[in-house]
Structure 1
Amino acid sequence: MSSDVNPEKLHQRHDTSYRFLLSSKKLFVELLRSFIHKGWVQAVDEEHVQEIPHSFVLQDFKRQEADLVYRVKLNGQDVVFYLLLEMQSSVDFRMPYRLLLYQVEIWRFLLQNEEDALLNRKTFQLPPIVPIVLYNGKQKWSAELEFRKLLSNENLFGSELLNFEYLLIDVARYTEEELLSLSNTIGSVFLLDQTEDQEQLLNRLGKLMSTIQQMPVDSQQKFVAWMANILLQKLPEDEPSLQQFIQNVKGDVSFMGLEKILDDIERRGQHKGEQKGKEDVAKQLIRMGMDDSSIAQATGFSVQTIEDWRKQAY
């Protein structure tokens, strides 16, 4: 990818990719069951999950993150899950404070259409909000998880201080073995999101092929579409198979299309490797003093190419 790509745009594209993926109720529940180890998680049922189509990210942070809000029935009562997609490369140590602001805005939003009579009843209660931060930066998340830890002299006080703790999903901290063992869409997404280079990306995709093939059709389609955005970040933009794949995603999203791009890239990589090997041999023969015609015959390069390399060498 060219060096003049705006990092801010990359973060925004990544945010939107995750938001697109987790706007699926099925994948949202899968995320909880795979990475949140709490007793209540198993009680979350996809049939009782409803997205609240509203963003509560404050204007100050619009370029740094995205969010998803779900209303879930647990034990017959409404619980709100607030998922903040934190795709910055650095840790924001104000996170508990920001989440407090978002939670207050969610309550304001939910209560604005309630009748005053209901709000003034003795039985009035706010729906609980479970804040979750999904972070995919390389740097380990080191911000406080508890709100009161941001308060100066908090150790002097007890329960009279406001407090809550958010749940953290730190994508880069999971091992390849852990993510492969999940054998599901979200585990596959995290594994590919961790990749550092094209070689590792292709290697991990190879390991995931059976998992991808066994995904439910709707999850597989979401995954392959998500892959289009990730491939744009992980592979050179001028990769012809990539461009073809991106075009196909806009129409018929298919697992076969993903297999084809991997095969094409691998073949091209092998071809480039072979060409590089021949080029190294030709240049060594130049240094040994062999004539251009003989080198061309031995390596398959044109005499003109050999002459050009000879000029560069001397």
Structure 2
Amino acid sequence: MESDERVHQRHDTSYRFLLSSKKLFVELLRSFVHKGWVERIDETTVQEIPHSFVLQDFKRKEADLVYQVKLNDQDVVFYLLLEMQSNVDFLMPYRLLLYQVEIWRYLLKDQDKKQVKRKEFRLPPVVPIVLYNGKRRWSASRQFRKLLAHEELFGSELLDFEYLLIDVARYSDEELLALSNTIGSVFLLDKAEELEQLSDRLGKLMHTIKQLPEDTHQKLMAWIVNILGQKMPADEPNLQELIQNTKGDVFVMGLEKVLDDIIRKGKREGKREGKREGKREGEQKAKEAIVKNMIKMGMDTAFIVQATGVPEEKVEELRK
């Protein structure tokens, strides 16, 4: 499996999985988008548009979520692009323009043709947001017209918009800890590059994690298991022990100890390198163990597929 595919799988089973929750999507906006209209969003009016607008060339490098919201009795569409590339794409404003146009085309298909032709008809605003978790600072222009040659010669006759940017690595640990919520916890953990960092940050988050509502707590636990599967050796027996105890406080209380054990063992033995095929088999076994444990916890198939990325057919096979 190519490296960008692995990154996509990790991203798609983490941020997309988490933000498919309307509650966590609204939490993301309220935590990182400092605009007056954010506080007027009513979570009960948020509806996901079940369609991806990502260009074919970028299918392995990004994912998206589209939400329609009632704001002041007006339909507003939020387009959230989950950007996974380590390199900054300086054509981002152009890509977002294409996505916005496709969203309008998609929505207009279901509109009454007579209503569309009326003078008072208005297209719903589309608010583009880029969530980027690369290590490099995002340096692409956020304004569309900055891509246009000699744009300074013209005024309002040129097309223009500016997208919102959420650059995960640019937030300090203190800022994320102060949020005391799921999204802040996720950003803090995702920034950890080494197991020592992950262990230290989990220790700082234990109080926050224990206080989370049950629905978001479950999603965060599933996300952490997936991240651990990426950051730790797949055949690590302590990881298997952790997976078998992915239950509320048992998981939370044992997490730091398991990580500490793995770190100490890693320092003694050094990082073990396996052949690519062996690594694939180990990763597959680890994922199957996660799925089996989720089945034992009574989670339904759709939730397990979202949380792990394992195909529905495989989940049902393991369930039997």
Q: Which of the five TM-score ranges fits, normalised by the shorter chain?
A: 0.7 to 0.9
2:231 is aligned to 234
Q: Give 1:6 shift.
A: 3.1
Label 1:256 to 1:125 Cα distance change in 2 as closer, same or farther (>3 A).
Answer: same
2:96 is aligned to 99
CA contact (8 A) 1:245 1:261 kept: yes
Listed as ranges, the gaps of 5+ residues in structure 2 are: 271-320
Matched, 1:74 2:77: no
The alignment partner of 2:14 has SS state of: helix
Q: Give 1:34 shift.
A: 0.3
Label 1:156 to 1:5 Cα distance change in 2 as closer, same or farther (>3 A).
Answer: closer
Label 1:231 to 1:195 Cα distance change in 2 as closer, same or farther (>3 A).
Answer: same
Deviation per CA, 1:180-238: give whole Å up to 9, x if none.
Answer: 00000000000001011000000000000000000011011111111112112222222
Q: Give 1:27 shift.
A: 0.5
What is the alpha-carbon distance in structure 2 between the residues aligned to residue 272 and residue 38 of structure 1? 45
Deviation per CA, 1:40-77: give whole Å up to 9, x if none.
Answer: 11001211111111111111110110000000010111
Alignment root-mean-square deviation, CA: 1.9
Counterpart selection for 2:47 from 42, 45, 50: 50
User: Whose Rg is larger?
Assistant: 1
Counterpart selection for 2:199 from 202, 208, 212: 202
The alignment partner of 2:76 has SS state of: strand
1:188 is aligned to 185
What is the alpha-carbon distance in structure 1 between the residues aligned to residue 127 and residue 198 of structure 2? 33
Write out aligned runs for 1:1-314 (5 A). 6-246=3-243, 253-270=247-264
- TM (normalized to structure 2)? 0.80
The alignment partner of 2:161 has SS state of: coil
Listed as ranges, the gaps of 5+ residues in structure 1 are: 277-314
Label 1:160 to 1:204 Cα distance change in 2 as closer, same or farther (>3 A).
Answer: same
Deviation per CA, 1:152-191: give whole Å up to 9, x if none.
Answer: 1101000000000000000000000000000000000000
The alignment partner of 1:186 has SS state of: helix
Q: Give 1:14 shift.
A: 1.6
What is the alpha-carbon distance in structure 1 between the residues aligned to residue 82 and residue 110 of structure 2? 28
What is the alpha-carbon distance in structure 1 between the residues aligned to residue 268 and residue 66 of structure 2? 51
What is the alpha-carbon distance in structure 1 between the residues aligned to residue 94 and residue 262 of structure 2? 50
What is the alpha-carbon distance in structure 2 between the residues aligned to residue 124 and residue 246 of structure 1? 53
Stretches of 4+ aligned residues off by more than 6 angstroms: 271-276
The range that moved more, 226-235 or 87-96, is 226-235
Letter paired with 1:261: L
Query: How high is the sequence identity, in percent, across the aligned residues?
Result: 67
Letter paired with 2:126: I
The range that moved more, 102-111 or 237-246, is 237-246
CA contact (8 A) 1:220 1:255 kept: no
CA contact (8 A) 1:86 1:133 kept: yes
The alignment partner of 1:72 has SS state of: strand
The alignment partner of 1:103 has SS state of: helix
- TM (normalized to structure 1)? 0.81
CA contact (8 A) 2:195 2:263 kept: no
